């Protein structure tokens, strides 16, 4: 990684020189002060050259350059992706439909809001929009990086398509929903390059603090010269500039922009597009997470989890009947029963599949919503059925069989636990049907979710599961998953009311959504992550878009936001502690000739006043370079409480910020003191 970063830094060195333009630097007051000091010492070095003045001037310019390099490297990391996206945008043509139904070919950049375009197999979708006619498989790898195609169709919540993706099959008509220059790809290009990044509220507040400290130190340094004259020692302007640069918070001032850009880049690397830096920062302060149950906490489809025999029925007999009766059930639940029974020991090769049964003369009864059953009538006259309890019980009674009272106990028990019971019955040749047992279907909680929610709880984040299930089922899933609360039978209005209630309590709320009915809640939430597979309304309402459409990524988004805040806080702590340590190098060196007693403060044992000040200036520049990798990578995030995190940062970065300058300045002084004429 170090060699890769060094190569990236070398490639972005021209951009760092270009950023020496004061029109760019004025946005960072701390570095602008260093730039002004560099210009002043350059003039003084030309008028009255000396080894000390030239050395200070060179390293002051290096400080400004390294600050620019940190920002340039952060911005440069997204240029390759931006170039690929830009080619996709400019090389696309569109088949626009006229009012009379005729087609005309136009550049993709010429499309306007509301235009209808035709896209067929092998063609690139020219702009963001919604499918209004047809259904097709679409390759979104150019945007998401995923090679698996997805289905997009008119109507519903999977109608949105993104410009730059490719239709693989069939024909669709797309209504363009974005203006020229404001497409999804345009926004991605601007964001990954850092061109449209605006400072976040916390970043602005920190910039104001750094500016205030800089002004205070300018006044303080300005007051030192009269004191020096009064003491009988006039200080040169080069010394005063060197002192000012070492006292102001140049380290965090140089890295502040790079930290913000790198935070956005970490989201892009995880295929999440943040519409603003404010959203990323808000994610770090989130205290309530609203999570959809289906697809986020659970897999989404109910799966077979248990076989419950009744009476004295053997488990093997129930498993065999459940397998046979589910072969014709193409629902996800039916397929899960087949998989479960095979794992349970059923010999699928001996019993065969649907094709083999039909070839042998069996009559397959496919599942339908009307009958709510599936099954098979075997060639020997045996019949097997599986389905809803009421439907199978009615079939048993209609064919002369009886239903035992213990079946109702099992069915009610499974229902009370939040699961779905499916009853299995079999009729032997020439005999009345009998119930064999119950298949327990349940919404399976994804592995590791309870542990992740426990970590969020340690961080002070409250998790709320949102589901359309009844309260009984919702409670069972919530307890198994380990969420703090749940909202059952949720409507769009219920989601909005919950978000507003949380926000009224001073909490920041994050949620995910993909449908048009989620749009109001996404807009209301402080962090709204819309799924890329969702509707255009959802993507417009949210302030983030997940290109992978993975609802669980909301937890990762919160982690990235917290990492951004932690990184900024840690480096700020290091920078301020770093400045405190530099006082012991410079202040004694400046006045030791007039006040010999200050020699006691020269705890580093530096060689000479000139060597001490030049060493501090050099260290001040080099520490920026040393911290660039940490600013880009981010401080490692651990799920800790706020108090534990504060203690850790003070110990590592506060104490480290005090100790490192003592070691670094002393090491540099040993080298600098060997320079003749210093």
Could you say which DSSP state residue 516 is in? G
Is 633 labeled as ligand-binding?
Answer: no
Q: Mapping DSSP to helix (H, G, I), strand (E, B) and coil, where does residue 139 land?
A: strand
* Closest alpha carbon to 12 in 60, 78, 87: 78
Question: Residue 414 class from Cβ within 10 Å (0-12 exposed, 13-18 middle, 19+ buried)?
Answer: buried
Is 344 labeled as ligand-binding?
Answer: no
Is 370 labeled as ligand-binding?
Answer: yes
Is 373 labeled as ligand-binding?
Answer: yes
Is 369 labeled as ligand-binding?
Answer: yes
Question: Residue 138 class from Cβ within 10 Å (0-12 exposed, 13-18 middle, 19+ buried)?
Answer: buried
Q: Which string of DSSP letters, residue by residue, matches 434-465?
A: EEEEEEEEEEEEPTTHHHHHHHHHHTT-EEEE
Distance from the Cα of residue 670 to its chain's centroid: 46
- Find the helix or strand (DSSP H, E) in which 388 lies: strand 383-388
81 in Cβ contact with 134 (< 8 Å): no
- Find the helix or strand (DSSP H, E) in which 398 lies: helix 389-398
Could you say which DSSP state residue 124 is in? B
* CA 13/CA 37 separation, integer angstroms: 22
* CA 168/CA 120 separation, integer angstroms: 8
* CA 463/CA 486 separation, integer angstroms: 8
Length of the chain: 678
* CA 579/CA 602 separation, integer angstroms: 16
Is 514 labeled as ligand-binding?
Answer: yes
The dihedral built from the CA positions of residue 325, 330, 331 and 333, taken in this order, carries a sign that is: positive
- Find the helix or strand (DSSP H, E) in which 160 lies: strand 160-161
Is 495 labeled as ligand-binding?
Answer: no
Is 374 labeled as ligand-binding?
Answer: yes
| Assigned token pair, 229 | 């004259």
Long-range contacts of 599-603 (CB under 8 A, 24+ apart): 603/662
What residues are annotated to the active site? 292
Is 669 labeled as ligand-binding?
Answer: no
| Assigned token pair, 585 | 């190098």
Is 45 labeled as ligand-binding?
Answer: no
* Closest alpha carbon to 660 in 585, 581, 600: 581
Cα–Cα separations (whole angstroms), residue 463 to 291, 297, 406, 459, 514: 7, 11, 38, 11, 19
The dihedral built from the CA positions of residue 482, 483, 488 and 491, taken in this order, carries a sign that is: negative
Q: Mapping DSSP to helix (H, G, I), strand (E, B) and coil, where does residue 331 land?
A: coil
- Annotation: binding site for ATP: 329, 333, 367-374, 386
- Annotation: binding site for Mg(2+): 514, 518
């Amino acid at each position: 990684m170090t060699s890769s970063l060094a190569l990236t830094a070398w490639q972005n060195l021209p951009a760092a020189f270009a950023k020496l333009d004061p029109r760019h630097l004025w946005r960072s007051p701390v570095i602008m002060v260093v730039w002004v000091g560099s210009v002043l010492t350059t003039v003084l070095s030309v008028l009255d050259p000396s080894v000390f003045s030239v050395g200070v001037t060179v390293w002051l310019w290096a400080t400004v350059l390294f600050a620019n390099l940190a920002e340039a490297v952060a911005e440069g990391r997204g240029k390759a992706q931006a170039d690929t996206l830009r080619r996709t945008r400019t090389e696309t043509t569109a088949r626009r439909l006229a009012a009379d139904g005729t087609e005309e070919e136009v550049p993709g950049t010429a499309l306007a809001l509301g235009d209808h375009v035709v896209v067929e197999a092998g063609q690139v979708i020219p702009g963001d929009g919604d499918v209004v006619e047809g259904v097709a498989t679409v390759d979104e790898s150019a945007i998401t990086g995923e090679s698996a195609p997805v289905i997009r169709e008119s109507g519903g919540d999977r109608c949105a398509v993104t410009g730059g993706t490719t239709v693989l099959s069939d024909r669709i008509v797309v209504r363009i929903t974005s203006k020229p220059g404001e497409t999804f790809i345009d926004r991605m290009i601007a964001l990954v390059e850092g061109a449209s990044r605006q400072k976040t509220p916390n970043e602005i507040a920190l910039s104001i603090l750094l500016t205030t400290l800089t002004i205070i130190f300018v006044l303080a340094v300005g007051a030192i010269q009269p004191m020096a004259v009064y003491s009988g020692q006039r200080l040169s302007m080069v010394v005063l500039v060197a002192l000012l640069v070492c006292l102001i918070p140049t380290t965090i001032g140089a890295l502040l922009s790079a930290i913000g850009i790198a935070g956005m880049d970490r989201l892009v690397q995880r295929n999440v597009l943040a519409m603003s830096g404010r959203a990323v920062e808000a994610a770090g302060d989130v205290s309530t997470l609203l999570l959809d149950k289906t697809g986020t906490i659970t897999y989404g489809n109910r799966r077979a989890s248990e076989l419950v025999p009744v009476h004295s029925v053997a488990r093997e007999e129930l498993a065999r009947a459940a397998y046979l009766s589910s072969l014709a059930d193409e629902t996800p639940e039916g397929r899960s029963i087949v998989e479960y029974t095979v794992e349970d020991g059923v010999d699928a090769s001996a019993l065969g599949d649907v094709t083999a049964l039909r070839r042998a003369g069996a009559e397959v009864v496919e599942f339908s919503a009307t009958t709510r059953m599936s099954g098979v009538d075997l060639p020997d006259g045996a019949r097997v059925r599986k389905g809803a309890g009421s439907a199978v019980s009615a079939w048993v009674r209609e064919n002369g069989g009886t239903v035992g009272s213990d079946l109702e106990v099992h069915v009610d028990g499974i229902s009370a636990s939040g699961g779905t019971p499916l009853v299995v019955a079999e009729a032997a040749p020439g005999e009345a049907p009998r119930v064999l047992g119950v298949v327990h279907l349940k919404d399976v909680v994804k592995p590791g979710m309870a542990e992740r929610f426990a970590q969020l709880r340690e961080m002070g984040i409250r998790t709320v599961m949102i589901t359309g299930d009844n309260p009984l089922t919702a409670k069972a899933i919530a307890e198994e998953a380990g969420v703090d609360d749940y909202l059952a039978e949720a409507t769009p209005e219920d989601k909005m009311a919950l978000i507003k209630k949380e926000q009224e309590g001073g909490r920041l709320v994050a949620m995910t959504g993909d449908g048009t009915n989620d749009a109001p809640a996404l807009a209301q939430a402080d962090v709204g992550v819309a799924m890329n597979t969702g509707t255009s309304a959802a993507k417009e309402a949210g302030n983030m878009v997940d290109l992978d459409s993975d609802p669980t990524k909301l937890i990762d988004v919160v982690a990235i936001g917290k990492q951004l805040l932690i990184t900024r806080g840690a480096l700020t702590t290091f920078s301020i502690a770093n400045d405190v340590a530099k006082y012991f190098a410079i202040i004694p060196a400046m006045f030791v000739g007039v006040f010999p007693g200050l020699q006691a403060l020269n705890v580093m044992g530096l060689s000479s006043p000139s060597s001490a000040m030049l060493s501090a200036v050099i260290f001040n520049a080099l520490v920026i370079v040393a911290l660039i990798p940490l600013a880009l990578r981010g401080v490692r995030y651990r799920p800790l409480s706020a108090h534990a995190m504060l203690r850790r940062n003070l110990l590592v970065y506060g104490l480290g910020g005090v100790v490192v300058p003592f070691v670094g300045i002393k090491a540099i002084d040993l080298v600098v003191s060997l320079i003749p004429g210093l």
